[in-house]
Structure 1
Amino acid sequence: MKFVMKENGFETEVEYGKLQICGDEKYGFRPYQLLVSAIAVCSGGVLRKVLEKKRLTYSDVTVTTEIERNEKKANSVEKIHMHFIITGKDLTKEVVEKCLHVTRKNCSMVQSVEGSIEITESFEIISV
């Protein structure tokens, strides 16, 4: 990837289009937002594949996040909590826990920050 400095932040061109990145969210995505998005969306995508492989019936997966940052250490991201809301049929707590365990082990973004950012998960099941 190539990042080009602009008047406000940086820009990169990816297959989908231009990505504007800036510390000021008036001009683009903030770097920490991209980091959290990568972790949450990677986890959600892996979870989706795990549910499909196990032939579980689901219609939706939503991921919400809570972020803890340390102002004393360059406002670094120290903790990300992901809450998965899974809408489906015949899903049990035990099955979803196993799916999330497999998801964590197979999410490249979670594995990339392991040991430097604490990642926690919770979930709820909405039965249809």
Structure 2
Amino acid sequence: MEFKMKPDVGYFTETEFGRLDVAGDDQYGFRPYQLLVSSVAVCSGGVLRKVLEKMRMDIEDIHIKADAERVEEEANRVSKITVHFRIAGKNLDEKKIEKAMALTRKNCSMVQSVVGSIEVEETFEIVQ
């Protein structure tokens, strides 16, 4: 990726899906920590979806809620990312989903990239 400086604040890059603006001020683009949290959440969601499909679970929807805790005294670093999955489908087995969550954590490249520096907590609920 190549980022170019914007005249006001921040940077941008062009991707095949459009322009991505990134800045420390959310008036000018996504904040870097938002992209970090998004990467962990969506990577986990994508892996979870694939694992559940391989387990032949009938998934209709996965909604992801992600939050970050930051440490102001340490350059406002992200110390914890909480990812909560709301999984909808037919005949969902809680024990199988627990196994899928463990596999997801192990196989998500973004989670594995932050292990040891950012705590990642993943939870789920089954919704009808």
Partner of 1:3: 3
- Deviating runs (4+, > 3 A) in structure 1? none
What's the CA shift for 1:92?
2.0
Structure 2 unmatched runs, 5+: none
Q: Which moved more, 1:41-50 or 1:86-95?
A: 86-95
1:3 and 1:95 mapped to 2: Cα distance? 42
Contact 2:61 2:89 in 1 (8 A): yes
| Aligned-pair Cα RMSD in Å | 0.8
1:23 and 1:73 mapped to 2: Cα distance? 16
Residue identity in the other structure for 2:50: K
What's the CA shift for 1:66?
2.1
Write the deviation string for residues 17-61 of structure 1: whole angstroms up to 9, x where unpaired: 110001111110000000000000000011110111111101000
Q: TM-score normalized by structure 2?
A: 0.96
Partner of 1:120: 121
Structure 1 unmatched runs, 5+: none
- Paired residues, what number? 127
Write the deviation string for residues 62-116 of structure 1: whole angstroms up to 9, x where unpaired: 1101211000000000001111100011112211110010011110100010110
Partner of 1:47: 48
Partner of 2:61: 60
1:56 and 1:109 mapped to 2: Cα distance? 24
Q: How does 1:15-30 map to 2 (within 5 A)?
A: 15-30=16-31
Q: TM-score normalized by structure 1?
A: 0.96
Partner of 2:91: 90
Partner of 1:108: 109
2:127 and 2:113 mapped to 1: Cα distance? 30
Partner of 1:81: 82
